[in-house]
């Protein structure tokens, strides 16, 4: 494994159409259009690309589920999930801002592969910067029918709900309804947007499509490791020297990501724990970071790459406080549709706050775990499950610290916590400096 970024998605960063074309941009589109849709899909299947939104579903297979129009005479839709809002993740922001045309090229190739002419990009409302860039890039294509073909790309801005990153809630929201997940099946590939066959893909997935077509699926599949082919754009944040987005070859060691790319822990502190793939992934202790950053290696530790938001925590971090911040987030973002998530996330936060304040007894730690257990696996979508899984993982891996809160009658870290510079408390989500979204 190397310790330098392997750029195929983020390479030749430019927002200008001319520069992008000069660097060979939109050549993959022409290549793809020379193929039949089935051939493009086959190329994706060969590439073994898996969805970059967090669920890792094989992209080519997802495309192949779309029923042909002669068996189901309905329009097909491509919906791109750009509602990136998981604490710790900001890779899609980078992709849209730096390589908008690669992303658009991906949309057009995918549209060709699934026989669709309508693409909707559902972008997080607060992402005004990437939105402007993306719209600017689309504007450049206005007179380029040769590139656009018959495809219309609509950029739709979300209204600030994390749940609208869940594909079916996103579709509901896009249809103008309350953003709440649908019960599956039917899956979007059969009945998605406007009850028509719909492919929902993440921004990074779509931006990875042009390089796959350009280099060929087989060549792409040589990158990375078994079950995680190609590259990933990871967002490194928290107590690291060089936070930011890096494109890595899948399988790179997490230690290398933190210490080589991230530059290690600042202020002479030591590593305590790592959230490996955004808030909803099981935490790793400092002893668990010698692991390949790929699907299978992380699965062995019961965690995952998720949305690739790597949050590095140093030894000043209180894990109970971390639990409160994340749990508050899930409570705040729960859509309110299903009972365990709506009520359970709120309850979890309450118990965690009590623990942090030193008002909790030993039995409340058991209650906390029991509530996690009662949420997990009973919700309509993964949001509530995520909160339960991560809180339970904090207790499992840092039980002594929870017990210390009980025994010492309060937080052993006192008021000092490194979290303020790592994760914004929920109160700040609602008073965001970018809350004033231009119309």
Judged by CB under 8 A, the number of residues near another protein is 30
C-alpha neighbours within 13 Å on the C-beta side of residue 155: 22
Single out the residue of 11, 33, 74, 346 in contact with another protein (rule: CB under 8 A). Answer: 346
Tell me if 357 sits within 8 A of 410, measured CB to CB.
yes
CB of 297 to another protein, least distance (A): 22
In the region spanning residues 140 to 179, those forming contacts with another protein, defined by CB under 8 A, are: 161, 163, 178
In the region spanning residues 180 to 239, those forming contacts with another protein, defined by CB under 8 A, are: 183
Does residue 374 belong to the site contacting another protein (CB under 8 A)? yes
Query: Contact letters (x/-) for another protein, 262-281, by CB under 8 A?
Result: --------------------
CB of 367 to another protein, least distance (A): 6
Burial of 45 (C-beta count, 10 Å sphere; 0-12/13-18/19+): middle
Q: In terms of CB distance, is 168 or 235 closer to another protein?
A: 168
Number of H helices, E strands in the chain: 19, 11
Q: In terms of CB distance, is 52 or 182 closer to another protein?
A: 182
Single out the residue of 225, 367, 403, 437 in contact with another protein (rule: CB under 8 A). Answer: 367
DSSP string of 101-152, one letter each residue: HHHHHHHHHHHHHTT-SEEEEEE-TT-HHHHHHHHHHHHHTTT-HHHHTT-E
CB of 188 to another protein, least distance (A): 16
Does residue 7 belong to the site contacting another protein (CB under 8 A)? no
CB of 392 to another protein, least distance (A): 15
Q: In terms of CB distance, is 91 or 157 closer to another protein?
A: 157
Does residue 409 belong to the site contacting another protein (CB under 8 A)? no
Does residue 95 belong to the site contacting another protein (CB under 8 A)? no
With H, G, I as helix, E, B as strand and everything else as coil, classify residue 305: coil
Single out the residue of 44, 308, 375, 390 in contact with another protein (rule: CB under 8 A). Answer: 375
Angle between helices 91-98 and 100-113 (to 10 degrees): 100
Least Cα distance to 309 among 89, 94, 162, 95 occurs for 89
In the region spanning residues 22 to 61, those forming contacts with another protein, defined by CB under 8 A, are: none
**What is the maximal distance between C-alpha atoms in the chain?**
69
Query: Contact letters (x/-) for another protein, 301-340, by CB under 8 A?
Result: ------------------------------xxxxxxxxxx
HEC profile of 194-251: HHCCEEEEEHHHHHHHHHHHHHCHHHHCCCEECCEECEEEEEEEECCCCCEEEEEECC
Least Cα distance to 121 among 201, 230, 182 occurs for 201
Give contact residues for another protein (rule: CB under 8 A): 161, 163, 178, 183, 331-347, 350, 354, 367, 374-375, 377-380
């Amino acid at each position: 494994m190397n310790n330098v970024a392997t750029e195929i998605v983020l390479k030749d960063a430019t927002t200008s159409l001319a520069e992008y074309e000069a660097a060979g941009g939109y050549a993959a589109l022409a290549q793809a259009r020379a193929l039949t849709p089935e051939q493009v899909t086959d190329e994706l299947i060969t590439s073994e690309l898996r969805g970059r939104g967090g669920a890792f579903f094989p992209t080519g297979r997802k495309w192949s589920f779309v029923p042909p129009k002669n068996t189901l005479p309905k329009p097909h839709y491509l919906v791109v999930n750009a509602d990136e809002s998981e604490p710790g993740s900001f890779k899609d922001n980078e992709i849209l801002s730096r390589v908008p045309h690669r992303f658009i090229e991906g949309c057009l190739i995918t549209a060709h592969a699934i026989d669709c002419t309508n693409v909707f990009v559902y972008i997080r409302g607060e992402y005004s910067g990437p939105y402007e860039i993306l719209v600017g890039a689309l504007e450049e294509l206005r007179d380029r029918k040769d590139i656009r073909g018959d495809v219309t790309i609509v950029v739709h801005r979300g209204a600030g709900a994390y749940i609208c990153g869940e594909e079916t809630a996103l579709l509901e929201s896009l249809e103008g309804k309350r953003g709440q997940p649908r019960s599956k099946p039917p899956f979007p590939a059969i009945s998605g947007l406007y009850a028509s066959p719909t492919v929902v893909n993440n921004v990074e997935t779509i931006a990875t499509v042009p390089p796959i077509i350009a280099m060929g699926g087989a060549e792409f599949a040589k990158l990375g490791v078994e079950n995680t082919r190609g590259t990933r754009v990871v967002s490194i944040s928290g107590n690291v020297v060089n936070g930011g987005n890096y494109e890595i070859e899948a399988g790179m060691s997490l230690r290398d990501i933190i210490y080589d790319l991230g530059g290690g822990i600042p202020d002479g502190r030591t590593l305590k724990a790592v959230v490996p793939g955004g808030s909803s992934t099981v935490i790793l202790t400092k002893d668990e970071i010698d692991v390949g950053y790929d699907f299978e290696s992380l699965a062995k530790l019961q965690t995952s790459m998720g949305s690739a938001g790597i949050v590095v925590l140093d030894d000043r971090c209180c894990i109970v406080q971390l639990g409160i911040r994340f749990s508050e987030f899930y409570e705040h973002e729960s859509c309110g549709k299903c009972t365990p998530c709506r009520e359970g996330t709120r309850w979890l936060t309450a118990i965690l706050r009590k623990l942090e304040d030193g008002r909790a007894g030993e039995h409340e730690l058991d209650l906390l775990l029991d509530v996690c257990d009662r949420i997990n696996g009973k919700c309509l979508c993964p949001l509530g499950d995520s909160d339960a899984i991560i809180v339970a993982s904090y207790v499992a891996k840092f039980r002594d610290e929870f017990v210390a809160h009980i025994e010492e009658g309060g937080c052993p870290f006192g008021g000092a916590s490194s979290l303020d510079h790592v994760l914004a408390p929920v109160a700040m989500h609602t008073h965001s400096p970018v809350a004033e979204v231009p119309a």
